[in-house]
Amino acid sequence: EEETEVFQIKKRALKPIFETNPNLVVDVCKIIDQRRELLKNHDHAALETDEQKRNGVFGSIKKFFGLEN
């Protein structure tokens, strides 16, 4: 069994990083999408298209950090 370490990173710490490196938001979204694929089951969330998933995660991160233009 593997050990897991969890780190809590506050919004105020990540926002300036995302603002100066917008491509990082895209990379984080890709990782989240990959993890979702691993966890995907047969419920209604599995019926979303890849584009809907990307837009959902990307939009959520941008909105949370106030990065929308």
Which tokens in the block code for residue 53?
Answer: 């998933």
Q: Would you say residue 13 has pLDDT above 70?
A: yes
Contact between 25 and 67 under an 8 Å Cβ cutoff? The reply is yes
Position 49 scores a pLDDT of 64
Evaluate if residue 15 carries a pLDDT over 70: yes
Q: Read off the tokens for 6.
A: 């969890």
Across all residues in the chain, what is the average pLDDT? 81
Selected residue with higher pLDDT from 40 and 49 = 40
Distance CA 18, CA 20 (A): 6
pLDDT of 37 higher than 60: yes
Which pLDDT value is given to residue 18?
93
Name the residue among 14, 13, 9 with its Cα closest to residue 61: 14
Find where tokens 């979204």 sit.
29
